[in-house]
Amino acid sequence: MEIWAKAPMRIGLAGGATDLPSYSDTYGGSILNATISKYVHVRILSKQDNLVSFKSYDTDEFVEYKTGELPLDKMPLFCASYNLMCKKAGNIFPSIQIESFSDTPVGSGLGTSSTLCVALIASLANLFDIELPPIEIANVAYIVERDICGFSGGKQDQYASAFGGFNEITINKDGTVNVEKLHISPNFISELETHILLYFSGKSRFSSKIIDDQENKIKNFKLQTSDALHEIKKEVKLLRKSIENSDIKSFSKSIARSWESKKQTSPMVSNVDLNSIIENVINLGAWSAKVSGAGGGGFIMLVLPLNKRNLILKCLNIDEHSLQSCVFESSGVLCWRR
């Protein structure tokens, strides 16, 4: 038997970093994001050798253990997901192999690690015939990634991948999460897809360092960081109104304001190379641009008018492999058996 899962990655549109506990526990967080047709794929294979093994084709990692509760020193997301779901199944520790690969490079800024976690939890739930609604898949994935493994980050990525589509995600002060799906004109979604390109900057980044810096500044009452996050949070309602009104110009202006505020949260969010790329595309006629995820590298979202698209690509001399179209995905994580 084979079990497959496919979980979509996301692009953050507004509210990024207000889902960090150091901010949301005090002020409440608000996020608007959308899933795209880039995925993390997971396959589970049954075995009969009393061993459990994990293989990542993205990082070329492989580990193998005897069945039972696993240590977390290698491939911790895999091991922690296996341990937790086996316990949920009644302390059943089966002999299986789990493989994964993603559609984008490691360090893309599209929420890859959280999306992997969602795919792992969903596929293991399918293996054990445990029914988990999207909110519970996301909750468990958050526990695995943040609480058990101790990876830095917020709460938007797990919920985006589990639910899919355009969502406003509210993180309450008590840590609970509400997900509201936006109802958007299909025509405007198509229009957004023609105006948005994703450009891989060529630099993978380690988001944990940026997130830790932002969290430390919030905890140490650095007003510049907190004030910037307040402005970022305000953009959620403004961007939502732009989307619901099918207003591309207002949408692009909100993206630009969010990027300016985001750079104020940590000096690690941007750098000379990223600033140069974004300044160049703006000077060539792009409406706006922002680095996806925590920043520091990975994908840059470009919002372009149609009549400037080819000019910008030509002048930047962008390698075709570094450029991705933006196609939105309305579904969350999917699982099936073969």
Question: Which of the residues are catalytic?
Answer: 157
What dihedral angle (degrees, nearest 10) is formed by the CA atoms of 206, 299, 24, 249? 160
Label residue 114 exposed, middle or buried (CB < 10 Å: 0-12, 13-18, 19+).
Answer: buried
CA distance 223 to 212: 16
Q: Are strands 51-56 and 96-102 parallel, antiparallel or unpaired?
A: parallel
φ/ψ of residue 220, rounded to 5: -95, 15
**For 311, how many CA atoms within 13 A lie in the half-sphere containing its CB?**
12
**CA-CA distances (angstroms) from residue 40 to 56, 117, 141, 285, 330?**
11, 9, 14, 33, 15
Place of tokens 């293996």: 127
CA distance 226 to 214: 9
Place of tokens 């202006």: 253
Cβ-based neighbour number of residue 7 at 10 Å = 35
Containing 33, the helix (H) or strand (E) segment is strand 29-46
CA distance 279 to 271: 12
CA distance 5 to 41: 6
Cβ-based neighbour number of residue 131 at 10 Å = 7
